[in-house]
Structure 1
Amino acid sequence: MKKDPNNMTLLEHLEELRLRIIYVTIVLGILALITFHYSLQILQFIMEPLIKVLPKTSHVIFTGITEAFWVRMEVSLYAALLFGLPYVFYHIWMFVNPGLTKKEKKVVLPFVLFATIFFLLGCLFAYKVILPIGLKFLVSYGGAEISAMPSIKQYVSFFLRICFAFGLIFEMPVLSFILAKADIIDAKWLIKKWDYAILAAFIVAAILAPPDVLSQFLMAIPMILLYVVSIGVVYLAQKPKNEEED
């Protein structure tokens, strides 16, 4: 990893990628052992939005002997990934930007910080806004004649899919910054494509959000706002270069 990145061969780049994956895997494995010890508390935190909307006669169940154990394992792994995000983002940044100048290397810490913050904000938005509304709609959809008995495995998978989808969506400004630094996109191009961006936001919301219109709007609107923020981020990222050209 200490070799000059500009003189590295393809095999050396692949070897660097392999080593970084090993480092990340080891750290996430250690974190998973720690989070498994608290997996029951984490699971209770995850179940809270569902418990609030379930009728008193309903319960969360598991249908297989090993289902509860594997759910706690899954929760532990995702919790480890969440706590290890700064370390993961650091290695991602260091790999995709091997030829950084001294000035550009100063961006590493802000990238790790903002990438982590935006991802957590996306998860928090899903937990506090999207899930309560979506779950209330889905649970009440069965009517008074049908009692809700959701499977813990099914619910946890649904919960993680929604939270991580929003976490990734909130990374849009960070991704835009990287693409701008790589001269792949610019602010003018993003402004020209605003109509496609709005259409894409509603398509993604229709696929990922719960099947009620309100939840889909609550997912699409932040995506559109993040697109606007991304335009500003790209403009600021390329401003020094544009001033030099002028």
Structure 2
Amino acid sequence: MATKEQTNPNEMSFLDHLEVLRWHLIRSVLAVVIIACFAFVMKSFIFDTVIFGPKRMDFPTYRFFCNIATFFGATSDFCADSFPFTIQNRTMAGLFSAHIWTSIWAGVIIGFPYILWELWRFISPGLHENERKYSRGFILVASTLFFMGVLFGYYVVAPLSINFLGTYTVSEEVTSEIDLSNFIATVRASVLACGILFELPIIIFFLTKIGLVTPEILKKYRKMALVVVLILCAVITPPDVTSQIIVAIPVLMLYQASIYISSIVVKKEAKKEKQNAK
């Protein structure tokens, strides 16, 4: 196996590449399973502290917005003692299933840097030496952006969604009893969506490298991107303007950073072509 990975990719057959990819995938899955096992054992921390953290009104995000409302002398749902809903399980295997899948997703999120590393090990032999040099720090930067997105989703998007949807009511006759799997899905979707969304600069970097994106294109469609961002924020956040703006601001900042990154890549490519032409 080690011999195959050291072979020049141009001399490897399609089946050889599939064999190499298979082992990278196996190692990635194994890493996720190992981390998931640790997460499975740490049931109390994963559920009581992490998953159900945004359900308690002493969550940092709620305290922050409550302090702001108090400062301006306004009343706010963020200052309530508790949420007017309960979480319940409706199926026989619901708790065990939630425990298993939550542990697996914890393995995916925590093991993201290793998964990226295995992906990079697979594609890097096919790159030129100068391309590998320009792509140094890829794993560190991509992992940092991903975890920044995860934290943003957990501390901003998830609590805003839970606060809005959990306190929304149509009648006093209706009591909200949220299903456990639905509550976990809300937190998970917020975290993963923001984690992937924050990878935008990395995606733009590679799209620029292969010539599909230029700074001019990004600037030309900036207004359209703004509309897309607002629509996306409307999907992953509660349907109130404040929450959408809070989420849209960092995404727009990432888009602007992507334009800057694309400009740097284009300048370096132009400089390299000029040097090769001499």
Query: Mean Cα displacement is larger for which, 220-229 or 9-18?
Result: 9-18
Instruction: Give the counterpart letter for 1:94 in structure 2.
Output: R
- Determine what percentage of the aligned residue pairs are the same residue: 29
Q: Deviations over 1:85-130 (max 9, x none)?
A: 1111112223344322334334555111111111111111112122
Q: Tell which structure's C-alpha radius of gyration is larger.
A: 2
Alignment pair present for 1:241 and 2:265 = no
Q: Please name the residue that 1:49 is paired with.
A: 54
The separation in 1 between residues aligned to 2:134 and 2:23, in whole angstroms, is: 23
Given residue 18 of structure 1, which amino acid in structure 2 is its aligned partner? R
Which range moves more in the overlay, 231-240 or 97-106?
Answer: 97-106
C-alpha distance in 2, partners of 1:207/1:58?
A: 22
- Contact 2:158–2:186, Cα closer than 8 Å, also in 1: no
1:2 aligned onto 2:6: yes
Give me the whole-angstrom Cα distance separating, in 2, the residues matched to 1:82 and 1:100.
27
Residue 155 (structure 1) aligned with residue 183 (structure 2): yes
Q: Could you say which residue in structure 2 is the equivalent of 1:70?
A: 97
Find the partner of 1:204 among 220, 223, 232: 232
**Cα offset, 1:132, TM superposition:** 2.1
Question: Could you tell me how far apart the structure 2 residues matched to 1:11 and 1:182 are?
Answer: 25
Determine the C-alpha separation between the residues in 2 that align with 1:107 and 1:80.
Answer: 30
- In structure 1, the partner of 2:120 is 93
TM-score normalised by structure 1 residue count? 0.90
Match of 2:16 in 1: 12
Deviation larger for 221-230 or 46-55: 46-55
- Cα–Cα, structure 1 residues 180 and 97, in superposed 2: closer, same or farther, change >3 Å? farther
SS in structure 2 of the partner of residue 229 of structure 1: helix
Change (3 A) 1:204 1:56: closer
Which one is further off, 95-104 or 193-202?
A: 95-104
Q: Name the TM-score, length of structure 2 as normaliser.
A: 0.80
Counterpart contact for 1:173–1:226, Cα < 8 Å: yes
1:127 is aligned to 154
Query: Which residues of structure 1 form unaligned runs of 5+?
Result: none
Relative distance call for 1:4 and 1:185 in structure 2 (3 A) is same
Matched to 1:128, the amino acid is Y
Distance in 2 of aligned mates of 1:56 and 1:11: 56
SS at match of 2:212: coil
Give SS of 1:134's match: helix
**What root-mean-square deviation, in Å, do the aligned CA atoms of Structure 1 and Structure 2 show?**
2.2
Q: Counterpart amino acid of 1:122?
A: G
Q: Which amino acid aligns with 1:221?
A: I
Q: State the Cα distance separating 1:68 from its structure 2 match.
A: 1.3
Q: What number of residue pairs does the alignment pair up?
A: 246
Q: 1:242 to 1:46 in 2, by over 3 A?
A: same
